[in-house]
A and B are shown apart, each in its own frame.
Chain A
Amino acid sequence: MDINLRDVKFAYPDAPEKTVLDIDQWSVSEAERVFVQGASGGGKSTLLNLLSGMISSTQGEISVLGERLDKMNRRQRDQFRANHIGYVFQQFNLIPYLDALDNILLASHFSKLKNGVALREEGKTLLTTLNISPSDWNKPTRSLSIGQQQRVAIARALINKPELLIADEPTSSLDQHNRDNFMSILMSLIDEHNITLVLVSHDASLSTHFNRVEVLNDINQMEVNRCSSSSPRKV
């Protein structure tokens, strides 16, 4: 199992009585592609932040890639995230004043792989694969189009050869054309590198790319109590 959550509860420290996430049991196996459908406000970000170790659970067991995140301190989680997890957001994936290559290298700065020249070459290869033309490699990323930025974001997320990729509404700021383009490139890279993918989006049309589709409200018990739930489906 790449991800295994058991009896996880989370409440923000400033409102400890209000549990925002409550998961009995949820797991993802190796190289699985999981689509989690859910609107914002359903504990989506909380779930992803828990998986990536940005925050720690109030209680429960979170193991990712065989490591117990709930047993680690913040520094260990930061290090673990840098080494093993790639992350793509809806937007603001890049430092706007650095160029594409530097953004990619910045991500590798915090991981254990730090072999400068080879890494640079690898970054260039990734950018080429992602259809970013070499003339755009050394421009500040703020001057790139949103579609290009999201593709550079994939390169940034993959440079450390993560075993797990987490994507949070990665296509929501893209138009139809760019969205399809983005998804097909992402999926082919995921396949190629045998990476486990957890993608969260409100956009149900993306589910066609996945072999497992979940609804956030089914995972999060807190939401069950509040909203009506639909049963889990398998595609």
Chain B
Amino acid sequence: MFIKLATKSLINRKGSVLLTLLAMTVSIFVLLGVEHIRHQAKESFANTVSGVDLIVGARTGNLNLLLYSVFRIGSPTNNISWESYEAIAADRNVEWTIPISLGDSHKGYRVMGTTQDYFEYFSYGQQHKLTFESGAPFQSVYDAVLGYEVAKKLDYQLGDELTLAHGIASTSFSRHDDRPFKVVGILAPTGTPVDQTVHVSLQGIEAIHVGWQQGVKLPGRTLTAEQAAQLELTPKSITAFMVGLKSRIVTFRVQSQINKYPHEPLLAILPGVALSELWQMMGLLENTLRLISVLVLVAALLGMSAMLLASIRERDHEIQLLRTVGAPPMFLFLLIELEALIISFLSIVLSTSTLYLCLITLEELLIAQFGLHIKTSILSENSVLLVAIIVGATFVAAAIPSLSAYRKASAV
């Protein structure tokens, strides 16, 4: 009867209730959406690399090195020499290294030159190794392994051929079209930038640049693909490399050794530290977004409170009547609270389902445009807590009209 009374009373004032419901829905949508994307983005970033103790590149900012080596965002400032790489890789504390060579692209997807160690040692998320959806790591010079998204978006199968473009723009004019690569492997989805990467061997990167100087093809100096493959293809330089150490204890010592490397200015960073630096930088933006969404919710709650308070003024007779049939003033208090909670509950249901629909629709876009992998499942500890807070805040905001009803009920 209690719930029926509250529901019918709300239906009776459907105009103002509906508007309040919409305001609440929008605000909860914003709050949950911001929180979800924030949370997921953080997770997505944090999951991008794991098990890598150090990342080494040319001397630049910590973040810059992290961004271009792991996230394929931005451009490397400088390369490091192959000799330096070999010297550090030979250190007795180093267990493995993954060299990375960037700078080419295929239809907007970045191409990364590396070695087979990449498939063996690189891990993401909770120490997941890369696995193959089909095929195997590259063996020969013109083999390519595609990230899951690349293969899916461009519809490549094993055995397909593709040509790389010089530079990272999707409309590059300088193409390495004389030396096509063959797809030999497609990686399983990882939810990291790996999915958007074309992997080739370092030798492959060298081979397509034979006969190039200063980033342009020199006419008359090009070799055929076969001739190029026969050459000594040891790279002269690479963009960066990842380091796995035998023991974590020596991380800082090795880092400082690399940073003081006498023959070339190098920078070694700890991915975790650089990531948290990234978050610190994003922290202000994040908190601003959060604050705005909280304020929007507060505004909606106050609006609801005002709507209920105005309704109480029209409900004098109802209150009097309920008192006459024996309803204690507390009943009136709870009745108004219940009305508020019903509105809040409906708004939560509406906004979560809208958010869910939006995420499903935007999932592809977010991956394609920002490389952001957002899980569509909104249900998390965080969101449950948020919903609980919203319900609590509703109760508090509705206490104003509820108390007014209580006082009115006590007076008759």
B and A form one assembly:
yes
A40 CB to closest chain B CB (Å) equals 16
- In residues 94-121 of chain A, which contact B (Cβ within 8 Å)? 94-98, 102, 105-107, 109-111
Chain A count of residues within 8 A CB distance of the other chain = 26
**B1 interface contact, C-beta 8 A:** yes
**A98 and B321 contacting across the interface, CB-CB below 8 Å:** no
A33 shortest CB reach to chain B, Å: 21
Contact, CB under 8 Å: A78 / B328: yes
Contact status B323-A54, CB under 8 Å: yes
The 0/1 profile, CB within 8 Å of A marked 1, for residues 298-325 of chain B is 0000000000000000000110111111
Query: A26 interface residue, CB < 8 Å from B?
Result: no
Contact of B317 with A92 in the complex, beta carbons under 8 Å: yes
Question: Given A54-B324, A75-B328, A111-B326: A102 and B317 within 8 A (CB)?
Answer: no
Mask: chain A, 67-84; 1 = CB below 8 Å from B; 0 = not: 000000011001101110
A-B contact count (CB 8 A): 58
Task: Say whether A151 faces chain B, with CB atoms less than 8 Å apart.
Answer: no
CB of B327 closer than 8 Å to a CB of A: yes
Tell me if A97 and B321 are in contact (CB < 8 A): no
Contact A97 B320 (CB under 8 A): no
Cross-interface CB contact of A87 among B2, B4, B324, cutoff 8 Å: B324
A44 at the interface (CB under 8 A from B): no
Taking CB atoms, residues of chain B closer than 8 Å to A83 are 326
What does the 1/0 interface line of B182-216 toward A look like (CB < 8 Å)? 00000000000000000000000000000000000
Asked if B325 and A92 sit within 8 Å, CB to CB, the answer is no
Question: A9 in the interface, Cβ–Cβ < 8 Å?
Answer: no
For the complex, what is the distance from the CA of A112 to the CA of B46, rounded to whole Å? 61
Given contacts A92-B317, A92-B320, A93-B321, A82 and B326 within 8 Å (CB-CB): yes
Q: Which of A97, A98, A106 contacts B325 (CB 8 A)?
A: A106
Determine if A78 and B327 form an interchain contact, defined as CB atoms under 8 angstroms apart.
yes
Interface flag for A156 (CB, 8 Å):
yes
Q: Are A82 and B325 in contact (CB under 8 A)?
A: yes
The distance from the CB of A174 to the nearest CB of chain B, in whole angstroms, is 18
Contacts of B5 in A (CB 8 A): 95, 98, 106
Closest to A156 in B: B325
Within 8 A of B (CB), among A45-97: 52, 54, 74-75, 78-79, 81-83, 87, 89, 92-97
Tell me whether B412 is interfacial, beta carbon within 8 Å: yes
B contact residues, total (Cβ < 8 Å): 22
The docked-state distance in angstroms from the alpha carbon of A5 to that of B331 is 30
* Chain B contacts for A82, CB-based, 8 A: 325-326
A96 to B11, CA, bound (A): 12
Q: Does B12 contact A (CB under 8 A)?
A: yes
Known contacts A54-B412, A92-B317; is A98 also within 8 Å of B323 by CB?
Answer: no
CA–CA, A105 to B331, complex, Å? 16
- What are the residues of chain B within 8 A of A106 when measuring CB–CB? 1, 5, 322, 325
Contact of A110 among B8, B12, B325, B412 (CB under 8 A): B325
CB-CB under 8 A from B318, the residues of chain A are: 95
**Which residue of B4, B326, B328, B410 contacts A102 across the interface (Cβ within 8 Å)?**
B4
State A87–B320 Cα separation when bound (angstroms): 12
Report the Cα distance A95→B324, complex, angstroms. Answer: 12
A114 closest partner in B (C-beta): B1
Q: B324 touches which one: A52, A96, A98, A102 (CB < 8 A)?
A: A52
- The answer for the CA separation of A75 and B328 in the assembled complex, in Å, is 7
Specify the chain B residue showing the minimal Cβ separation from A111: B326
Minimum C-beta distance from B2 to chain A (A): 8
> Across the interface, which residues of B come within 8 angstroms of A97, CB to CB?
8-9, 11-12
- Tell me the minimal C-beta distance from B3 to chain A in angstroms: 12
Bound complex: CA of A83 vs CA of B326, how far in Å?
Answer: 8
State in angstroms the CA–CA spacing of A138 and B4 once bound together: 14
Closest 6 CB pairs of A and B: A82-B326, A110-B326, A97-B12, A92-B317, A107-B325, A109-B1
A75-B328, A78-B327, A94-B321 known; 19 new pairs, CB 8 Å cut-off, are A54-B323, A54-B324, A54-B412, A81-B325, A82-B325, A83-B326, A89-B324, A92-B317, A92-B321, A97-B11, A98-B4, A102-B1, A102-B4, A102-B8, A106-B322, A109-B1, A110-B327, A111-B326, A156-B325
Give the A-binding residues of B (Cβ under 8 A): 1-2, 4-5, 8-9, 11-12, 317-318, 320-328, 331, 410, 412
